[in-house]
Amino acid sequence: MSRLLVCCKQDIPSMNMKHQLLEKGEWEDIGSDGVNSYLQNDNIVMITIDNMHIYAENIDKTAENFGIRVDDIVVLSKHSSASKKPTLTVHPIGNYKENQMGGNAKTLVKSLPHLMSGTLRKIYELNDNPTYHVSFEVTHHGPYVDTPAMYIEVGSEESRWNDEHAAKILIDSLISAEEKDNPVIVGVGGGHYAPKFSKLALTKNIDIGHMVPNYQIVGSSDDEISRMISDAAKMSNTDMIYVHQGSMKSSEEKRIDAIIDSLGLHRFFPKNM
């Protein structure tokens, strides 16, 4: 298997994570395609790009055209939020509706449930700074790629972006993450930082794929919700849907249940959750 790590010169945590990787092994300079540079360590290739990664559409094809086999992609990134809450996050990629931040509209990228959940568990284990909150983020933004992909991020404002120890935690977690063959579920409901889905991955032998938050559901038609859940399941390679009970009105939950049934998918109920 060959993994492509995407580093961006405009992104401080991305470059800090690159620095951490360079300290952890022997990397061979395998050249440039005239725009991007490439380093290789065994089955891992690190591409460094100039422009922001969320707009690096088809970066997998760019690497493959350079002669790199790409089986999965991890983008090394900063995270921004108005709250400025210190956060270490992991998330899948794609757009349920508009593509205001890269990618294609109404298009998801294949998720990496086992790697994403395994990495989250390791971040939680290795995080020695209680200031940092550890969680998933729900599916959002670009770039669009055909290859399964995910983001790891340091947030949420500039003073945290410069935190090299936070970058080290993420890289150590990615490198040591266990990809267990756990059942995979899609999460529906809740907020952007997916507390229920994060807790599920951290406490149960369950891995999380795409996540559809309430803010995508509210005001959406049955057809739109059906498309979003169907795409999330397909791009997570699962037929199991976990609905965050209590995060929506009972009437909305019943509507979601009916849509799940109509799609031939199955609602997942974790024990003792």
| Separation CA 195–CA 136 (nearest Å) | 8
* pLDDT reported for residue 83: 85
Residue 18's nearest CA partner among 42, 48, 40, 41 is: 48
Question: pTM of the entire structure?
Answer: 0.97
User: Could you say which residues of the chain have pLDDT below 50?
Assistant: 273
* pLDDT reported for residue 228: 98
* pLDDT reported for residue 268: 95
Q: Are 232 and 249 in contact (CB under 8 A)?
A: no
Show the tokens assigned to 146.
């055909």
Vertex 116: Cα angle to 207 and 20 (nearest 5): 150
* pLDDT reported for residue 167: 97
* pLDDT reported for residue 270: 82
Instruction: Please report which residue ranges of the chain form alpha helices under DSSP H.
Output: 12-23, 59-65, 113-126, 158-161, 164-176, 195-203, 214-217, 222-234, 250-262
Q: Dihedrals φ, ψ of 122, to 5°?
A: -70, -40
pLDDT in tens, 164-199: 999 999 999 999 999 999 999 999 999 999 999 999
| Separation CA 39–CA 240 (nearest Å) | 38
Q: Which residues contact 139 (CB under 8 A, 6 or more apart)?
A: 91, 92, 93, 94, 96, 108, 111, 210, 211, 212, 232
Look-up of token digits 């669009």: 144
* pLDDT reported for residue 272: 52
* pLDDT reported for residue 40: 98
Look-up of token digits 């993450």: 177
pLDDT in tens, 193-225: 999 999 999 999 999 999 999 999 999 999 999
* pLDDT reported for residue 82: 81
